């Protein structure tokens, strides 16, 4: 029995792992999961603790990473983590040992100012209705907005507490091929930091004009950025 609820799409023998961001759950991957299944992957999309159908608290990056390691198969062909999921995946990568790893606009570095305001903005989403989601994400398809609203209904706002003590991470140079896929512009990985990470061994690709949730903002651009990785 796994620690986390894990949604699956069965398309083949190769394993892909998808790790969602804060306030989301597997519904965030409503197009990516089936796309990878069509490409021959068995896709695992866990709900992080405090999200979706998984258990509640306590919350920390270390706890999320431990849950992930205990809940999905090791050595996936590819692992993709978005935002908080990219942060959690970075903490679990040495134990999971994916053959390739993709970090989609990962939350590795806190904003210089406004961390409390950011947590408040996340918590305010708990009261959103469909019109609020559509207004905030005007490029998203209706199905993406509906998935976001369903995830918010199941999400525990207490997950934002980890932000208070989070000082960021300095990712280790990758020991497996690692792609850093960034929004345009990314508010989490500024150009100077992206250049540092490129020198450290990460491949960096920017999806022109895409917002933070690249796979919902621009699925075509997201898949193009994954060329050679899935």
**Cα dist from 80 to 104, 117, 178, whole Å:** 7, 27, 10
> Of 125, 77, 137, 127, nearest to 102 (Cα)?
77
Confidence of residue 114 (pLDDT cuts 50, 70, 90): low
175 C-beta neighbours (distance < 10 Å), count: 11
Q: What is the mean pLDDT of residues 74-88?
A: 98
Residue 90 has pLDDT above 70, yes or no: yes
User: Residue 109: left if φ>0, alpha if ψ -120 to 50, beta else—which one?
Assistant: beta
pLDDT for residue 61: 95
Confidence of residue 116 (pLDDT cuts 50, 70, 90): confident
Written as six digits, the tokens of 209 are 């004009």
pLDDT in tens, 24-39: 999 999 999 999 999 9
Residue 45 has pLDDT above 60, yes or no: yes
pLDDT in tens, 120-178: 899 999 999 999 999 999 999 999 999 999 999 999 999 999 888 788 898 999 999 99
> Of 88, 86, 20, nearest to 51 (Cα)?
20
Q: What is the mean pLDDT of the chain?
A: 95
pLDDT for residue 111: 67
pLDDT for residue 115: 66
Confidence of residue 201 (pLDDT cuts 50, 70, 90): very high
Buried b or exposed e, range 19-47, using 16+ CB within 10 angstroms: bbbbbbbbbbbbbbbebbbeeebbbbbbb
Residue 58 has pLDDT above 80, yes or no: yes
Residue 1 has pLDDT above 60, yes or no: no
**Cα dist from 180 to 42, 136, 148, 149, 225, whole Å:** 23, 25, 24, 27, 10
Could you give the domains of the chain?
6-225 (3.40.50.1820)
Whole-number Å distance between alpha carbons of 92 and 65: 5
Residue 216 has pLDDT above 70, yes or no: yes
């Amino acid at each position: 029995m796994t620690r986390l609820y894990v949604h699956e799409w069965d398309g083949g023998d190769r394993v892909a792992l998808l790790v969602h961001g804060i306030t989301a759950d597997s519904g965030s991957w409503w197009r990516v999961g089936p796309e990878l299944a069509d490409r021959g992957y068995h896709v695992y999309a866990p709900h992080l603790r405090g999200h979706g159908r998984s258990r509640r608290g306590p919350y920390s990056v270390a706890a999320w990473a431990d849950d992930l390691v205990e809940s999905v198969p090791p050595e996936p062909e590819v692992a993709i983590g978005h935002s908080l999921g990219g942060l959690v995946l970075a903490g679990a990568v040495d134990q999971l040992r994916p053959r390739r790893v993709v970090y989609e606009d990962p939350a590795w570095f806190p904003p210089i100012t406004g961390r409390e305001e950011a947590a408040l903005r996340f918590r305010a989403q708990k009261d959103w209705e469909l019109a609020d989601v559509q207004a905030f994400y005007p490029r998203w398809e209706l199905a993406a907005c509906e998935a976001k609203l369903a995830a918010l209904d199941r999400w525990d706002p207490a997950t934002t507490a980890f932000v208070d003590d989070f000082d960021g991470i300095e990712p280790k140079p990758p020991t497996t091929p690692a792609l850093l896929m960034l929004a345009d512009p990314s508010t989490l990985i500024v150009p100077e930091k992206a250049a540092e990470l490129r020198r450290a061994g990460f491949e960096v690709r920017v999806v022109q004009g895409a917002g933070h949730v690249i796979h919902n903002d621009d699925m075509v651009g997201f898949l193009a950025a994954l060329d050679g990785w899935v």
